[in-house]
Amino acid sequence: MVNLIGTYECKVDTKGRLMVPSAFKKQLAPMLQEGFVLKRAVFQSCLELYPMDEWNKLMLKMNGLNRFKKRNNDFIRRFTAGVKTVEVDSNGRLLIPKDLIGFAQIEKEIVLSSAINIIEIWDKEKYENTIEASADDFADLAEEVMGNDEFDGIS
């Protein structure tokens, strides 16, 4: 399993290309050959960059859904809407397709933020607003998500 670490600010050029920060490039080096999948996030207006291996694991789970249930089909359609395969070019740049730039309302300055096994790509202002807005609730959220007796990882 991939465990990505870091949050970095960078810029997108007029063609939608971003220079992948060197710290992420080092972490992603073993995955550069396989490529990545870029998609709309489910809960926020940001993008999610999946290493191909992580995407394939997720698709194995999704493939187990019964396609003869309408809700499952609707979910799969919405979840995969706008999905694109992307690569980091020889100059270390990643091209974000125009439709995904529109979805995430990306202007010029962006934030790349690790989310365990994926990288979220945010418009910088939207990222800062989201982090700021949830700051007050974070202690309650941490207790709810991590405070149960079944989780014995960190204290």
> Is 150's pLDDT higher than 70?
no
Model confidence at 151, pLDDT cuts 50, 70, 90, reads low
- Number of separate domains in the chain: 1
Say if 24 falls within a structural domain: yes
The band of 140, judged by pLDDT with boundaries at 50, 70 and 90, is: confident
Integer Cα distance of 28 and 81 in angstroms = 25
- Containing domain of residue 83, as a range? 7-146
Q: Would you state the pLDDT for residue 132?
A: 84
In a domain, 76, yes or no: yes
Closest CA to 41 of 120, 110, 109, 116: 120
The answer to whether residue 152 is domain-embedded is no
- What is the Cα 75 distance to its own chain's centre? 18
Distance between CA atoms of residues 86 and 107, nearest Å:
20
Whether 38 is in a domain gets the answer yes
Q: Is residue 155 part of a domain?
A: no
Q: Output the pLDDT for position 107.
A: 93
Comparing 90-94, 122-126, 135-139, the range with the smallest average pLDDT is 135-139
In degrees and rounded to multiples of 5, residue 119 shows phi and psi of -120, 130
Asked if the model's pLDDT at residue 141 lies above 70, the reply is yes
Please report, rounded to a whole number, the percentage of residues in the chain having pLDDT higher than 70.
94
Q: Are strands 84-86 and 47-51 parallel, antiparallel or unpaired?
A: unpaired
68 belongs to a structural domain: yes
- Domain-embedded: residue 81: yes
Q: Where does the pLDDT of residue 153 fall: very low under 50, low under 70, confident under 90, or very high at 90 and above?
A: low
pLDDT in tens, 62-118: 999 999 999 999 999 999 999 999 999 999 999 999 999 999 999 999 999 999 999
Question: Is residue 152 over pLDDT 90?
Answer: no
Asked if the structure places residue 25 within a domain, the reply is yes
Q: Which residue intervals of the chain are DSSP H helices?
A: 22-28, 52-63, 70-79, 98-104, 124-133, 138-146
User: What pLDDT shows up at residue 2?
Assistant: 78
Question: How would you class 48 by CB atoms within 10 Å of its CB: exposed for 0-12, middle for 13-18, buried for 19 or more?
Answer: buried
Tell me the mean pLDDT in the region 24-32.
90
Q: Give the domain CATH number at 21.
A: 3.40.1550.20
